[in-house]
A and B are shown apart, each in its own frame.
Chain A
Amino acid sequence: MNGAGNLFMDGFWRNNAAFVQLLGLCPLLAITTTLVNGLALGIATTLVLIATNTVVSLIRGSLVPSIRIVVFVLIIASLVTTVDMLTNAFFHDLYRVLGLFIPLIITNCAILAQAESVASRRRIDQAALSGLATGLGFAAALVLLGGLREIVGFGTLFSGMEFLLGDAARGVYLNLPHDGMLAAILPPGAFFGLAALIALRNWLTTRDTNATVQKAEAEART
């Protein structure tokens, strides 16, 4: 695989912020009561990640190790605040939905981890790509967990789509033939759901590794 593809898979799958690094759990667990909530926060986080990675990479030449964390936090906080104000001013309807979630992005350590481990060591294009990949990986985790909890907890899927897509999408959601199990919506449901998804991901990864090992062994015998 080429360098860019490798970098992308690293952020998206191999080092997935939510499932592997277990970073950004505060917004992850708090927001994922529905798929749409997860998607909305996922998009916002991805945008912030691309922006912070780009800026950090841009100034990486003048960074001094002892103060780098302070600088990262300053950059992240001011960018998120800016995003917060601009959405409030220019996308007021969307802001009324996302407004609560946007400040939560500051508490997402995945962004700090990206700044520290990737953005401060790589070229701008690589840093931005890694930000995009990590953001998409995090968004995918939010959407999966949100969808899972919504199906189990409410018995619906895609409810609230009108907040993201406008009134045309109102009522476009699946209603499953059960009333929902409240436990999935409450905080413990977030932990159980996340645990189930991590287990699934681990199973997929081990299966792949086992297959590769067995294939290699079989080849070695012949």
Chain B
Amino acid sequence: MADSEAKLLRAILVVAAIAVCAAGLISVSHEISAERIERNIAERLMQSLHEVLNPDLYDNDLVQTQVWAIDPDLLGTPEPVQVFLATREGQPSAAIFAAVAPRGYNGRIDLLVGLDAAGVVQGVRVTAHRETPGLGDQIELSISDWITGFDGTSLSDPPLSQWAVVPDGGRFDAFTGATVTPRAVVQAVRDVLVYFDEHQAELFERAAAIERVETESEPAGALLP
């Protein structure tokens, strides 16, 4: 009896010791990496914002001028979606939506959609996805330039009825063997355009409110060039 109890105790001790070591290892590497991971993601965000919107189009601090928009139908997720609002010389000039294409082949596809104030697409990039490597991953610019096909499109060009992939009678190419992925992205970009069309004034009003607060709180000298 005492023997089996000793064995049990030893087993418990070994598992506990290993578990403590494992937890220690993970928290140490979390400690080392967390800050860098965050910085990498932030750098990546700035880089992607530049990719979907020409920096010449705005002169405000994009990352500071962000609002949250909620519209599960048009923005693809029940969660609030980040919207970066760009202004030039105080006038609304463009917006970037961190929208979601909810119906990818393997779940959601995260997008950045850049539009100018007239609702013309300036650029679209995929920021995160779980599509099949070799098939659906052609939505990434590093693999195919398909995603640049959105540049210059708007709700009137092509007409709304042609905002679909070719197999669905639309204007946008699908990939061989993967129609679901491009269909999801095309729908999501179209929905962002529709949302922007309906809510543009409201969004920029909220952005202006943010900028007013910032201007008031900063010392006057900092605003001089």
Contact = CB atoms under 8 A, between A and B. Distances in A.
Given A86-B29, A100-B130, A186-B177, A92 B11 contact: no
Main secondary structure of the interface of A (DSSP, over half): helix
A160 to B, nearest CB: 8
Interface string B32-53: 1110110010001000000000
Main secondary structure of the interface of B (DSSP, over half): helix
A80 B23 CA distance: 13
A65 B177 CA distance: 49
Interface in B178-193: none
B14 A67 contact: yes
A54 interface: no
Contacts of A90: 33, 36
Given A182-B176, A185-B135, A75 B33 contact: no
B88 interface: no
Interface string B113-133: 000000000000000001011
A88 B40 contact: yes
A71 to B, nearest CB: 5
Contact of A78 (B22, B33, B36): B22
Nearest to A154: B134
Interface residues of A, number: 33
Contacts of A164: none
Contacts of A75: 18, 22
A28 interface: no
B32 A66 contact: no
Interface in A48-95: 59, 62-64, 66-67, 70-71, 74-75, 77-79, 81-82, 85-86, 88-90, 92
* 6 nearest CB pairs, A to B: A33-B134, A89-B33, A78-B22, A89-B36, A92-B40, A64-B11
